[in-house]
Structure 1
Amino acid sequence: MKVLVTGGGTGGHIYPALAFVKYVKSQDPSAEFLYVGGKRGLENKILPKTDIPFKTLEIQGFKRKLSFDNVKTVQLFIKSIHQAKKILKEFQPDVVIGTGGYVSGAVVYGAAKLKIPTIVHEQNSVPGITNKFLSRYVDRVALAFPDAAQFFPERKTVLVGNPRATEVRDVAKTSILSEYHLDPDKETVLIFGGSQGALKLNRAVVDALPRFAEKNYQVLYASGERYFEEIKKNLDFSLEELTNISVQPYIDKMAEVMANSSLLIGRAGATSIAEFTALGLPAILIPSPYVTNDHQTKNAQSLADHGAVKMIRDEELTGDLLVATIDEIMEDQQLRSSMAAASKEQGIPDAAERLYGLVKEVI
């Protein structure tokens, strides 16, 4: 089987694709893969570190305001379709899977026109413009959230979840928290705002740090590398004085840390949601207001409606509210258990298997 995977721009498009490739390789070592990304996306940093053959196309997104750049965008899109068709004819895939981003638009559209079986994977509860456009041409639309089905042709949609969940579902409890100078046997609250951090969340956490020091639970806080030094410099106390708090610029083994945590606080991106629901971890989500179609709020609300998470809007977030919401959950074992059960219920840990089944169905 030959599979061409395409998606780019952000980790939310790339990591599900890589998780799917990893799973298929475990099931069919003879399967061949090619990944096609954009020339300027994050995929250019991630894919070269893998053993997956990688090619790029020159493409860019539309500006929301009227701009001459949009003329260039159309020209690049038309050109990239021709380039994509050339790549497709050379590789001759049995199926093409698009996971989002403008580059997947050109590749999946080109594949559909060449009568190659096609699937798009939508990670969020509100789809992006690329997948909505492609849904008219593809054979199937694979969903991570059931709420997204309303935006696509009903006969094409299949709920599969996010393949990243399959990667983390079997992560076991370990002593990894000791690597961050914390007690592996103590209830732990994990706070992070993504790889780059989140300014509003960081301000609230810094304000709350002295109060966290007085709690029965411990806190592991990943600030993001660009905020770490600034935080250290502006604190009125030394981080070393806080025995039950660990502040880190970045957490490398995030899935393992999640598996050893009691509560997660962070943004509402599709990848982290797939991870913590696969583990059955309760969460407090602060959706980023700076994403397309406010999809993180929709992601978080979908989980909040089922009792899996508490949601705090970015504009309402303060240190006081953050501490109060954490305490509400950490001091009520029954509430935390019910949230954990709801989180597990909303997770789809066999997502990669489901997507693989869909691939075999369309080929």
Structure 2
Amino acid sequence: MNIIVSGGGTGGHIYPALALIREIQKESKDVNFLYIGTEKGLESNLVVREGIPFKSIHITGFKRSLSFENVKTISRFIRGVRKSRKILKEFEADVVIGTGGYVCGPVVYAASKLGIPTIIHEQNSVPGLTNKFLSRYVDRIAVCFEEAKAFFPEKKVVLTGNPRASEVLNQDGKKGRASVGLSERQPVVLIVGGSRGARPINEAVLKSLSMLGQKPYQILYVTGDVHYDEVKKEVDLIGNPKNVVIKPFIHNMPEILAGVDLTVARAGATTLAELTSLGIPSILIPSPYVTNNHQEKNARALSDHHAAKVVLEQDLSGQKLVEEIDRILMDQDKLLEMKKAAKNLGIPDAAGRLYKLMKDLVNQR
């Protein structure tokens, strides 16, 4: 089977695509992949680094306000469709899946017009503009949240989950703890603001360091590369408690998550897929700077089922952070209840579900 995958713009679109490819490659040796992205996007580096064949098209997103740039975008879309058609024919694609971002627009649209089976994968509880547009043309729409179903044609929607959930399973939590110098004997709280970090979360942690240093649990605090030097200067002045380990970035996150008891994080779709797959309770601080405020809606999808506590950024403080951690981690009944609720929301076989969906569509041609 020849599968074309397209997704770009943010890691939230790219990492699920890469996870899907890796999981299918484990299961089937007779599958060929081609990834279509943009040359300047994050995907051009991440995909090539994985050794996956990559081709690019030039496309930009629409501005939400009236702008002459939108006229240029329409022109780029048309050219992108033409180039995509050529790539699709040369590769002899059997099925095409778009995992989000504006690059998917011309690729998936071209495939639908050529009669090639098409799927879009929506990671968030609220879809973006590209997937809303493509939903009219594709054969199936794979979603990760029940709440997303309402935005799409009912007959096309399938709940599959996020392929990243499959990758975090069966990891060695003891090895993960040891890799960052954490003890096996005490509970662990992971505080992370995403790969680049989040300044408001960093500020809250710095203000609470002295309080956290007195707690009977350990903190793994990931600042983000961008903020690490600034944070370390502050920590050098305040003092680094023995039970707080500070890192700029974590490369072995699946292993680390396997050894975590509670996570404080943003509410990106990939993060939530990982947490629910493993059944990890969380304190979610949604980013207010994303389209359609989708992170808060993602977070509410967990908190409504008692799997997470939502703290809005405007309400975050050092005192509030410590109180919420204590409220969950120091109450074993609550901790176990949240673990069970998170696990119930997880879809660990997401990659397998998507692959089955592809095979079914190809067989129906």
Note whether the superposition's TM-score is higher than 0.5. Answer: yes
Aligned to 1:264: 263
Alpha-carbon separation, structure 2, partners of 1:235 and 1:165: 34
Aligned to 1:27: 27
Aligned to 1:60: 60
Alpha-carbon separation, structure 1, partners of 2:178 and 2:151: 45
Aligned to 1:176: 176
Alpha-carbon separation, structure 1, partners of 2:141 and 2:179: 41
Q: Secondary structure at the match of 1:14?
A: helix
Q: Secondary structure at the match of 1:149?
A: helix
Q: How far 1:236 sits from its partner (Å)?
A: 5.8
Report the TM-score, using the length of structure 2 for normalisation: 0.97
- Is the aligned partner of 1:273 residue 2:259? no
1:281–1:181 Cα change, 3 Å? same
Alpha-carbon separation, structure 2, partners of 1:137 and 1:225: 40
Q: How far 1:64 sits from its partner (Å)?
A: 2.1
Q: How far 1:237 sits from its partner (Å)?
A: 3.1
Q: How far 1:179 sits from its partner (Å)?
A: 2.9
- Is the aligned partner of 1:313 residue 2:348? no
C-alpha offsets along residues 80-124 of structure 1, whole Å, 9 cap, x if unaligned? 111111101110111000000001011000000000000000000
User: 1:327-338 alignment to 2 at 5 Å?
Assistant: 327-338=326-337
The answer to whether the 8 Å contact 2:175/2:255 transfers is no
User: 1:144-223 alignment to 2 at 5 Å?
Assistant: 144-223=144-223
C-alpha offsets along residues 47-99 of structure 1, whole Å, 9 cap, x if unaligned? 11112100111111112222222221111111111111110111011100000
Q: How far 1:238 sits from its partner (Å)?
A: 5.9
- Is the aligned partner of 1:121 residue 2:121? yes
Alpha-carbon separation, structure 2, partners of 1:150 and 1:318: 35
- Is the aligned partner of 1:288 residue 2:284? no
Q: Secondary structure at the match of 1:189?
A: strand
Q: Secondary structure at the match of 2:103?
A: helix
Alpha-carbon separation, structure 2, partners of 1:259 and 1:341: 15
Aligned to 2:342: 343
Q: How far 1:290 sits from its partner (Å)?
A: 0.7
The answer to whether the 8 Å contact 1:182/1:245 transfers is no
User: 1:81-160 alignment to 2 at 5 Å?
Assistant: 81-160=81-160
Aligned to 1:253: 252
User: 1:44-59 alignment to 2 at 5 Å?
Assistant: 44-59=44-59
Q: Secondary structure at the match of 2:82?
A: helix
Q: How far 1:235 sits from its partner (Å)?
A: 3.5
Give the residue type in structure 2 aligned to 1:111.
A
The answer to whether the 8 Å contact 1:175/1:184 transfers is no
Aligned to 2:321: 322
Report the TM-score, using the length of structure 1 for normalisation: 0.98
Bigger Cα displacement from structure 2, 110-119 vs 171-180: 171-180
Q: Percent identity?
A: 52
Alpha-carbon separation, structure 1, partners of 2:7 and 2:175: 35
Bigger Cα displacement from structure 2, 169-178 vs 210-219: 169-178
The answer to whether the 8 Å contact 1:286/1:311 transfers is yes
Alpha-carbon separation, structure 2, partners of 1:270 and 1:306: 16
Bigger Cα displacement from structure 2, 120-129 vs 38-47: 38-47
Q: How far 1:249 sits from its partner (Å)?
A: 0.5
